[in-house]
Structure 1
Amino acid sequence: MAKRGENIRKRSDGRWEARYEKGRLENGRIHYGYVYARTYDEVKKKKILALQQAQLPEPISPGMTMDSLCTEWKMAVRYTIKESSFACYDTLIEKHIIPWFSECKLAQINTNVIMRFTISKTESGLSNRTVKSLLILLQSILKYGENKGYLSLRSIQFTYPKVTSQGFRVISEAHVHKLIDTLSCDSSPFSSGILLCIYTGIRVGELSGLKWGDFDFEKQIMSIRRTISRVKNLEYMEGKEVSKTRLLISTPKSQSSIRSIPIPEVLLERLESQKSHPADFLLTGTTKCMEPRCIQRRFQTLLEQCDIPKINIHALRHAFATRCTEIGFDSKALSEILGHSSAKITMDIYVHSNLQQKKSYMDKLYY
Structure 2
Amino acid sequence: MDVSKIMMADVCEEWLNMKRLLIKQSTYAKYRNIVERHIEPDIGDYNLGNLNSYLINSFIYEKIKKGRLDREGELAVKTVRDITTILKSIVKYAEKEYHTENLAGNSVLPKRSRVKFEVLSLKEQKVMEEYLLDNLQEPRCVGLLICLYTGLRIGEICALKWNNIDFESKSITITHTLQRISMPDLETKRKTRIIIDEPKSESSFRTIPIPEKIFKIIRKSSYPHNDEDFFLTNSSKYVEPRNYQYFFRRTLKNMGIREVNFHILRHTFATRCVEVGFDVKTLSEILGHADTSITLNYYIHSSWENKQRQMMLLEG
Normalising by structure 2, we get a TM-score of 0.91
Structure 2 match to 1:340: 289
Q: 1:243 aligns with which of 190, 215, 222?
A: 190
CA contact (8 A) 1:201 1:317 kept: yes
| SS of match in other structure, 1:230 | strand
> How many Å separate the matches in 2 of 1:353 and 1:292?
33
Structure 2 match to 1:349: 298
Distance 1:356 1:285, change over 3 A: farther
Structure 2 match to 1:212: 162
Distance 1:155 1:170, change over 3 A: closer
Residues 109-188 of structure 1 mapped to structure 2, 5 A cutoff? 109-125=51-67, 127-153=76-102, 156-187=105-136, 188=138
CA contact (8 A) 2:88 2:104 kept: no
Structure 2 match to 1:94: 36
Structure 2 match to 1:201: 151
Letter in 2 for 1:171: L
Deviations 1:325-346 (A, max 9, x none): 1111111111111011222111
> How many Å separate the matches in 2 of 1:134 and 1:277?
43
CA contact (8 A) 1:78 1:86 kept: yes
Q: Which runs of 5+ in 2 are unaligned?
A: 69-75
CA contact (8 A) 1:257 1:340 kept: yes
CA contact (8 A) 1:335 1:346 kept: yes
Higher relative contact order (CA 8 A, sep 6+): 2
Distance 1:359 1:192, change over 3 A: farther
Normalising by structure 1, we get a TM-score of 0.79
* 1:304 pairs with 2:261: no
How many angstroms does 1:63 deviate by? 1.2
Rg comparison, structure with higher value: 1
How many angstroms does 1:60 deviate by? 5.7
Runs of 4+ in 1 over 6 A off after TM superposition: none
CA contact (8 A) 1:322 1:352 kept: no
| SS of match in other structure, 1:148 | helix
| SS of match in other structure, 1:231 | strand
How many angstroms does 1:360 deviate by? 6.3
Aligned length: 306
| SS of match in other structure, 1:223 | strand
Structure 1 match to 2:228: 279
Structure 2 match to 1:233: 183
Instruction: Kindly report the root-mean-square deviation, in angstroms, between the aligned alpha carbons of the 2 structures.
Output: 1.8
Q: Which runs of 5+ in 1 are unaligned?
A: 1-58
CA contact (8 A) 2:56 2:104 kept: no
CA contact (8 A) 2:118 2:267 kept: no
| SS of match in other structure, 1:151 | coil
Distance 1:298 1:360, change over 3 A: farther
CA contact (8 A) 2:51 2:103 kept: no
CA contact (8 A) 1:170 1:315 kept: yes
Structure 2 match to 1:62: 4
Q: Which has the higher helix share?
A: 2
Q: Which has the higher strand share?
A: 1
